[in-house]
Structure 1
């Protein structure tokens, strides 16, 4: 199926999603998209050219609100409007292979939903510093709904009937769909140490991908961003859990080998022996693996690539 076919299929799915929700509940619902502008700063201008209603999702009190095109923004869409339909399909095409879009159905009007999401622009970390919360990134959203306390979960999802995002098919997160909006939080939520660790582990895979993407070789270099990040996430989990790697340079090197050479390179007995042996904390992983014979790496390349994992 080519990109045009997928886009049409996704568009029809969104239309059916809204219509079926209205019929099921007898209530009026709106289709929304949360766009991650930092991944494509041109998208907000396209929204404005179509005169589609939107709101920035950084509150005015934040410095980031001065440049809404590079932040997350919320748009309200009417699929039966020709201009809106064109924009929806343009967004779907642009979002192929990237975590650019989060779709939502909600009974709340645009201003109220935007005000609610402003409460989640930042979080307070265990050291009491503030950090942006990328809840509109589907990978982060998946972690949040697992790690939130029941009270945090209920408040966050209160105005949402359902979130959807595309991962080789629609993935959904059910909301609370409350008719009356929740009161705004008096302050940003404070993450516990355990919550922060879960969120950091998730975010690190994406951060690392952007750091090493220029070093990726074919065929993994042709994979979409999301697929690469998923591979990195699995490699990082193995590096930390099985070999107790902690340094960022070592984790990056481990991931690069897994992506460029062979996803299961560490299963080779010569490499596993090095990885499982105790080492000088100052010695880098690249140095530790430098004595592995070239024939081992050649064999790993012939045996298969990360794309088969």
Structure 2
């Protein structure tokens, strides 16, 4: 059985029904409109064939061109036909978040769901304006509508920036890499005014630049450790700190950042300071981190992990 078939069996489980029912229940408690966020990967799927009759209202970018352009599809969850589309979008989302899609750079669609009081024409204009941000003298596309970006962005942004991001919504829903439904709620009153400038700092832009490496690291972790114990939120704390530590040590290449973060997750956040690793790095001083670590054996990695965890336990006992 191939991986896709295994995932398809997963989407038939009660988890899909649970997510579907949560969204339906929320719709019964929320006024306004319900939208599916959608960006095609230009590959025909059964789901795309079934929503072809639904109008996609595209984001309105200014002085920026991206193909395919993301947009919104309005759904009326009181109608059975649109409920079917919702369930199919959940199932398709499960397929899209499979770690192998990220690891092997497969084209994927973008999905998410929004409850908002704004009509679709106003909301797509607002979201298009938000997506284009200034970075010094350049213009950057902030792909915040992509769940693999949004989940990290919400950790990077200040509370004020987060509030600005969801100012025109009641709820923003998406499935994270743990295949859990995440519901971001607007804690404040709805604002109908677009904020053109989020005042993203230089440090925040640097962290935003890590998102691709973060996604690779998390996908690698989930793929090779399918029984993983760290939730996405816990893993993100380790990954983002690992990127800081890696850059401080002079590792700036995206592959090296991913390598550093991966072993921070799977071995120990302080793996780089172990004597075995320190010696190998000194012997290969001018090489990328991946080259420096490539000859470390599995038995050595296990010893490093045991040593660091035992050291952690010892320090904890000393403090008691």
Q: TM-score, normalised by structure 1?
A: 0.69
Which one of the candidate residues 8, 30, 36 is aligned to 2:17? 8
**Cross-structure match for 1:121:** 131
Q: 1:176 to 1:118 in 2, by over 3 A?
A: farther
Q: 1:240 to 1:39 in 2, by over 3 A?
A: farther
Question: What CA deviation, in whole Å up to 9, does each residue of 1:131-157 have, x standing for no partner?
Answer: 211111234324444555666544432
Contact in 2 for aligned 1:34/1:74 (Cα 8 Å): yes
**Cross-structure match for 2:257:** 251
**Cross-structure match for 1:63:** 65
> For the residues of structure 2 that align with 1:177 and 1:238, how far apart are their CA atoms?
33
Matched, 1:283 2:287: yes
Question: What CA deviation, in whole Å up to 9, does each residue of 1:16-56 have, x standing for no partner?
Answer: 101022xxxxxx3211121243496758844642x334311
- What's the offset of the Cα at 1:201? 2.9
**Cross-structure match for 1:24:** none
Paired residues, what number? 280
Which one of the candidate residues 234, 238, 242 is aligned to 1:238? 242
Which one of the candidate residues 69, 78, 84 is aligned to 2:76? 78
Matched, 1:136 2:145: yes
> For the residues of structure 1 that align with 2:10 and 2:92, how far apart are their CA atoms?
14
**Cross-structure match for 2:35:** 32
Contact in 1 for aligned 2:112/2:174 (Cα 8 Å): yes
> For the residues of structure 2 that align with 1:89 and 1:170, how far apart are their CA atoms?
13
Which one of the candidate residues 108, 120, 127 is aligned to 1:110? 120
The runs of 5 or more residues in structure 1 that have no matched partner are 22-27, 304-309
> For the residues of structure 1 that align with 2:283 and 2:16, how far apart are their CA atoms?
51
Question: What CA deviation, in whole Å up to 9, does each residue of 1:43-86 have, x standing for no partner?
Answer: 8844642x33431124375322xx4xx33221111122222112
Question: What CA deviation, in whole Å up to 9, does each residue of 1:114-134 have, x standing for no partner?
Answer: 1111111221113x2112111
Q: 1:223 to 1:52 in 2, by over 3 A?
A: farther
**Cross-structure match for 2:106:** none
Q: 1:300 to 1:38 in 2, by over 3 A?
A: farther
Which one of the candidate residues 157, 164, 186 is aligned to 1:175? 186
> For the residues of structure 1 that align with 2:278 and 2:259, how far apart are their CA atoms?
17
Q: TM-score, normalised by structure 2?
A: 0.67
